[in-house]
Amino acid sequence: MLRRFKTNNFWQVFTSTLAALFGVQSEKNRSRDFTSGKFLPYLVSGVVVALLFVLCVMVLVRVALYLAGA
């Protein structure tokens, strides 16, 4: 018999990705994520969040350097 996985919605994937980024994922959410059966949404969300994080850091550094007169 085929096992049916309950898929997580967009907000569950997004909040799990953010929690994993900061290292504050709860055990309940972690087990929900690993039993969802889908890897691709977490991969895409992780790449997007990582790119946004890097871009934000780059903008903050440029603003700080501009304000410092460098």
Q: What number of other Cβ atoms are within 10 A of residue 2's Cβ?
A: 4
Residue 24 is assigned to a structural domain of this protein = yes
Taking the whole predicted model, whether its pTM rises above 0.85 is answered as no
Residue 4 is assigned to a structural domain of this protein = no
Residue 5 is assigned to a structural domain of this protein = no
Owning domain of residue 60: 10-68
- DSSP 8-state code for residue 36: S
Residue 46 is assigned to a structural domain of this protein = yes
Q: What number of other Cβ atoms are within 10 A of residue 34's Cβ?
A: 10
Could you say which residues of the chain have pLDDT below 70?
A: 1-6
Instruction: State how far the alpha carbon of 32 is from the alpha carbons of 4, 6, 23, 55, 56, in Å.
Output: 14, 9, 16, 30, 30
What's the number of domains the chain is made of?
A: 1
pLDDT computed for residue 5 by the predictor: 60
Residue 1 is assigned to a structural domain of this protein = no
pLDDT computed for residue 45 by the predictor: 93
Structure tokens at 19: 């929690």
| C-alpha to C-alpha distance for 50 and 25, rounded to whole angstroms | 17
pLDDT computed for residue 3 by the predictor: 58
Residue 22 is assigned to a structural domain of this protein = yes
Residue 3 is assigned to a structural domain of this protein = no
